[in-house]
């Protein structure tokens, strides 16, 4: 018998500037102060650097915990959510500094997004999360404006039928789609918010037939990662950022035949406990997984109308 492990509630909200944590963010050596943004030319090699201090002692934190295979996860998204990049700045333990030069090619497969991170004009939010040893998970963000004419695209919900979105995707080197996805979401309204569950069935075209996709390769320790951001997220950054980062773990074979099989389900499952963080309205969510040595990125756009939490 295979035992299905429900995905753990491995999700978190974005909060910045706590009493034990202050972030210092630099773009091309220039400090980004508070809510101000930095003006940049698109497509130029751009150095992003960060370090973090304890405001009580002014000490620089140098001890970080690896989470999902990396010391830092960074998401770069533009205002209309047409651009989403997920990269991993490099950590120098002697100085406590994290750095990544974007708009440059990397051979690192976990930084394949870096080459095209800041290319399209418009306003961007750069969001970084770390775990400081002995302090906990902390996040911060900085704003960057890429000069030029920014043509914004309106979010439009994906076609759906009874709340189910069926979408097809292709690999960048292919002409026609070879992936089929069936996206479902469920809400459970509780006392302190909503549990939002996403279930995404994955299929891959094999010999002209869509077969359940079972050969996910581990990417950053999980079967898949996802990031969910609400429309107009930039106008809400003074509060909790309407941003969720979720993971879908591998499902292990527990048939006790000691062959140490790992059985992969073709359904990705992501959970988020929304305590009023996400904004009602349109949402965009990207799932990322590694398949046939390429990290795939698949977006979904859907409506979300959370119920007010029950008083109990
Ligand atoms: Cu990451």
pLDDT in tens, 98-135: 999 999 999 998 999 999 999 999 999 999 999 999 99
Higher pLDDT, 169 or 252: 169
Give burial (CB, 10 Å; 0-12/13-18/19+) of 115. Answer: middle
> Domain locations in the chain?
14-146, 154-304
pLDDT band at 36 (very low <50, low <70, confident <90, very high): confident
* Gap from CA of 245 to ligand 1 centroid (Å): 9
* Gap from CA of 256 to ligand 1 centroid (Å): 33
User: What's the confidence (pLDDT) of residue 91?
Assistant: 97
Least Cα distance to 109 among 91, 127, 87 occurs for 87
Q: Coil, helix or strand for 18?
A: strand
* Gap from CA of 137 to ligand 1 centroid (Å): 14
What are the two backbone dihedrals, phi and then psi, of residue 114, each rounded to the nearest 5 degrees?
-65, -35
User: What's the confidence (pLDDT) of residue 254?
Assistant: 58
pLDDT digits (tens, 9 = 90+) for 139-177: 888 899 999 998 888 999 999 998 899 999 999 888 999
| CATH tag, 14-146 | 2.60.40.10
* Gap from CA of 85 to ligand 1 centroid (Å): 10
* Gap from CA of 127 to ligand 1 centroid (Å): 11
Fold category of 154-304 in CATH: Immunoglobulin-like (2.60.40)
Q: Is the pTM for the entire model greater than 0.85?
A: yes
- Tell me what the pLDDT averaged over the chain comes to: 87
- Establish whether domains 14-146 and 154-304 are of one fold: yes
What are the two backbone dihedrals, phi and then psi, of residue 236, each rounded to the nearest 5 degrees?
-125, 20
* Gap from CA of 88 to ligand 1 centroid (Å): 6
Q: Is the pLDDT of residue 260 over 80?
A: no
Q: How far is CA 132 from CA 55, 56, 100, 154, 239, in A?
A: 14, 15, 19, 38, 22
* Gap from CA of 84 to ligand 1 centroid (Å): 12
pLDDT band at 257 (very low <50, low <70, confident <90, very high): low
* Gap from CA of 33 to ligand 1 centroid (Å): 25
* Gap from CA of 289 to ligand 1 centroid (Å): 11
């Amino acid at each position: 018998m295979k035992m299905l492990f429900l995905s753990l509630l491995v999700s978190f909200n974005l909060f910045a500037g706590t009493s034990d944590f202050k972030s210092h963010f630099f773009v091309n050596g220039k400090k980004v102060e508070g809510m101000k943004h930095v003006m940049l030319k698109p497509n130029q090699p751009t150095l992003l650097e960060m370090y973090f201090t304890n405001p009580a002692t002014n000490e620089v934190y140098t001890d970080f915990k690896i989470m999902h295979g990396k010391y830092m996860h960074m998401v770069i998204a533009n205002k209309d959510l047409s651009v989403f990049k997920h990269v991993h700045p490099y950590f120098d333990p002697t100085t406590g500094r994290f750095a990544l030069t974007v708009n440059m090619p990397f051979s690192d497969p976990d930084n394949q997004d870096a080459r095209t991170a800041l290319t399209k004009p418009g306003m961007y939010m750069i969001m970084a999360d770390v775990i400081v040893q002995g302090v906990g998970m902390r996040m911060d963000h900085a704003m960057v404006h890429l000069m030029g004419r920014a043509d914004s695209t309106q979010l439009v919900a994906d076609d759906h039928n009874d709340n189910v979105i069926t979408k097809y995707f292709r690999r960048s080197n292919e002409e026609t789609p070879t992936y089929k996805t069936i996206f479902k979401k469920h809400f459970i309204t509780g006392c302190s918010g909503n549990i939002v569950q996403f279930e995404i069935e994955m299929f891959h075209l094999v010999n002209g037939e869509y077969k359940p996709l079972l050969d996910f390769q581990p990417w950053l320790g999980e079967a898949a990662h996802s990031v969910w951001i609400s429309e107009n997220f930039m106008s809400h950054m003074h509060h909790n950022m309407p941003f969720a980062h979720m993971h879908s773990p591998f499902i292990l074979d527990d048939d006790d035949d000691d062959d140490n099989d790992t059985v992969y389900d073709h359904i990705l499952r992501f959970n988020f406990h929304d305590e009023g963080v996400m904004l009602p309205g349109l949402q965009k969510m990207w799932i990322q997984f590694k398949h046939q040595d390429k990290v795939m990125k698949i977006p979904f756009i859907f409506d979300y109308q959370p119920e007010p939490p029950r008083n109990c």
